[in-house]
């Protein structure tokens, strides 16, 4: 009798673990995720040389950015710009977070204020200042500059001035989607 109960219990467990109709065994049923359809600088080809105006060789303006998201509705966005080719390791050029969910672009030359009119906060870059600081590598081979967009399920509980590490920690478990692109620059 005990053997029959074990067999019936095992069969019941197997039945509960079978995928429902239209559900793959490999893919558990989940709420729809956000998809970042596009994230780019208008009229800029990924991997191309960044214009001097967005670097220390020019006006050091932040580039204009555009994105389009579909699927689940994010509650906020964050952008991190880094140089993985810096001599000291990954160098952070921009940390901006709590961009409103109604936003789908940033204009060129975002102010370096700690808090923007939109309510977004800006973090501390590795130059020790707030806001965007453009490419400024040592003379030599080109460095890559990655712009990373994060669609978030909630705003980050951070005050202005947060570091890249603090933002990454605050975003943990709340990233719905991410998309990156890069440009290069050298002196």
Range of the domain at 154: 32-185
Q: Is the pLDDT of residue 61 over 60?
A: yes
Q: Residue 54 — very low, low, confident or very high, per pLDDT cuts 50/70/90?
A: very high
Q: Is residue 122 part of a domain?
A: yes
Q: Is residue 161 part of a domain?
A: yes
- Cα–Cα distance, 125 to 154 (Å, whole number): 23
Q: What does the pLDDT average to over 19-26?
A: 36
- Cα–Cα distance, 181 to 81 (Å, whole number): 10
Q: Residue 8 — very low, low, confident or very high, per pLDDT cuts 50/70/90?
A: very low
Q: Is residue 2 part of a domain?
A: no
The CATH number linked to 171 is 3.90.280.10
Give the pLDDT of residue 30.
45
103-137 pLDDT, tens per residue?
A: 999 999 999 999 999 999 999 999 999 999 999 99
Q: Is residue 8 part of a domain?
A: no
Q: Is residue 7 part of a domain?
A: no
Give the pLDDT of residue 18.
32
How far is C-alpha 168 from the geometric centre of its chain's CA atoms?
9
Strand ranges in the chain using DSSP code E only, listed in sequence order:
35-40, 65-70, 76-83, 91-100, 105-106, 121-122, 143-152, 175-185
């Amino acid at each position: 009798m005990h053997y029959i109960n074990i067999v019936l219990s095992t069969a019941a467990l197997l039945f509960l673990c079978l995928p429902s109709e239209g559900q793959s065994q490999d893919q558990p049923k989940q709420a729809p995720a956000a998809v970042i359809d596009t994230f780019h600088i208008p009229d800029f080809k990924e991997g191309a040389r960044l214009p001097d105006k967005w670097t220390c060789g020019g006006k050091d303006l932040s580039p204009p950015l555009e994105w389009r998201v579909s699927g689940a509705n994010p509650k906020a966005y964050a952008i991190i710009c880094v140089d993985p080719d810096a001599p000291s390791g990954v160098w952070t050029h921009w940390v901006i977070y709590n961009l409103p969910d109604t936003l789908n672009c940033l204009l060129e030359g975002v102010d370096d204020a700690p808090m923007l009119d939109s309510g977004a906060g800006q973090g501390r870059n590795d130059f020790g200042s707030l806001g965007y600081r453009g490419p400024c590598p040592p003379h030599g081979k080109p460095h890559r500059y990655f712009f990373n967009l994060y669609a978030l399920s909630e705003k980050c509980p951070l005050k202005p001035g947060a570091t890249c590490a603090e933002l990454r920690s605050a975003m943990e478990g709340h990233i719905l989607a991410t998309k990156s692109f890069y440009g290069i620059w050298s002196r």
